[in-house]
Amino acid sequence: MIQTLSDALIPLLSLIAIGAVLGRKTDFFDGRALSGLVTTVGIPALLLHSVLSMDLGIFEMGELVGVTVLWLVAMSAVTAVVLVLMGLPVRSYLPALVHPNTGNMGVPVCFALFGAQSLGFAMVISSVIQVSHFTLGIGCLSGRLSLRAMLKNGPVLALIAGAILLALKVQPPGPVMTTLDMLGSITVPVMLMQLGSSIANLRFSGAREMLRPLVFSFYRPLAGLAVAAGLLLLWPLEGLQAQVFLVQCAMSVAVMSYVLAVRYQGPAQEIALTIPISLVVSLGVAVWFSLW
């Protein structure tokens, strides 16, 4: 298990390191064009390809979608209360503290812990979280959220299209799937290198500025796990589904939260610093699951 986990994480950390070097030496990550390419092309293609590649029935998929949406509602409510008590702007920090890194972190971790049979469950949960980034996340950071905008959202359309094709048992031709795979493959590397660039260019005046990211780094995985465990008391899932759900909800702050914070002028530097620290906490949770 440790070998598989390290095999999954070393490429991620390597891409962050490459981004850090490029961010210090070049202007490749300056501006919003690159993040715009990822959010409008890469993410929808990755999402649709993932949904169409899953070996799941429409009813199993619907149950996981439902429980994940309910978890998002509960986690958002809890986090909003915490932010109000801390005297922080809810809209600025809510998306990063609610959304876990279920994609490039959660999926490899679930595979390492539970094997290939867990991948379908992990991808469904990750798909819902990705849609939430572009609905709840953008709505909070931009201050605009409408049904019309949601229905024009690329990831939302990709998930709807994938669900319809699954229900009709229609599999697109091989070249179409290959095209989606190629377009989606740009997403994770670019996001991780953007994160590394931001971390490399962080400027903090003292240790006091580290306190809030440190608190957030523990809150995101541990609160996510606690809310998920409480929810399973009301909505019991089968053994493997429940385990994957708990692990996914306990993942670190998502890289996408950083990308959106950059695009909509949110607290990008704090989020960038929170991501690697919360990753360590999430790995601790993963190790605990492996021993449990």
| pLDDT, tens digit (0-9, with 9 covering 90-100), for 105-147 | 788 788 778 877 887 788 789 888 888 887 788 788 777 665 6
Q: Please indicate, yes or no, if residue 8 is contained in any of the structural domains.
A: no
* pTM of the shown model: 0.77
- Determine the structural domain holding residue 155 and report its residue range: 29-193+208-291
Residue 70 lies inside a defined structural domain of this protein: yes
Residue 12 lies in a domain: no
pLDDT at 206 over 60: no
Q: Give the DSSP letter string of 133-190.
A: IIIIIHHHHHS---HHHHHT-HHHHHHHHHHHHHHTT----HHHHHHHHHHHTTHHHH
Closest CA to 196 of 9, 14, 10: 14
Examine residue 134 and state whether it is found in any structural domain, yes or no: yes
Cβ–Cβ < 8 Å for 79, 94: yes
CB atoms within 10 A of CB 44: 24
CB atoms within 10 A of CB 205: 6
Say if 198 falls within a structural domain.
no
CATH number of the domain enclosing 181:
1.20.1530.20
∠ CA 257-261-266, rounded to 5°: 130
pLDDT tens-digit readout, 40-64? 888 788 878 877 876 666 677 788 8
How many domains does the chain contain in total? 1
In a domain, 18, yes or no: no
Residue 21 in domain: no
Decide if 128 is inside a domain. yes
Burial label for 41, CB within 10 Å (0-12, 13-18, 19+), is: middle
Tell me the per-residue pLDDT of 236-278, one tens digit each, with 9 for 90 and over: 888 889 999 999 999 999 888 887 888 788 888 888 888 888 9
